Homo-oligomer: A and B are copies of this chain.
Amino acid sequence: MFERTAIIGIGLIGGSFGLAAKRAGAVESVIGVARSADTREAALAMGAADEVTADPAEAVRGADLVYIAVPVGAIRSIFQQIRDSLEPGALVTDAGSTKREVMQAAVELLPDHVTFIGGHPMAGSEQSGVRAARADLFEGAAYYLTPGETTTQDELNRALALVRALGARPDVKVAEYHDRLMAATSHLPHLVAAALASTTHHLVSGQKELGNFLGAGFTDTTRLAEGLPEVWRDIFLSNPDNVAAALDKMIEQLEQFSAAFRELDSETFDRLLEEARRARRELLD
B253 contacts A254, CB within 8 Å?
no
Report the minimum CB–CB distance from A7 to chain B (whole Å).
24
B249 contacts A283, CB within 8 Å?
no
CA distance A250 to B199 in the complex (A): 6
The answer, among B198, B218, B244, for a CB contact under 8 Å with A261, is B244
Q: Which of A200, A226, A262 has the most CB of B within 10 A?
A: A200
Q: How many residues of A contact B (CB 8 A)?
A: 86
Q: A203-B246, A249-B203, A254-B247 are in contact. Are A213 and B198 (CB under 8 A)?
A: no
- Residue A230 interfacial (CB < 8 Å): yes
- Residue A4 interfacial (CB < 8 Å): no
B225 contacts A276, CB within 8 Å?
yes
Report the minimum CB–CB distance from A45 to chain B (whole Å).
30
A102-134 vs B, Cβ < 8 Å mask (1 yes, 0 no): 000000000000000000001000000000000
Q: Top 6 closest A-B pairs, CB basis?
A: A201-B279, A194-B276, A142-B212, A229-B273, A184-B203, A244-B261
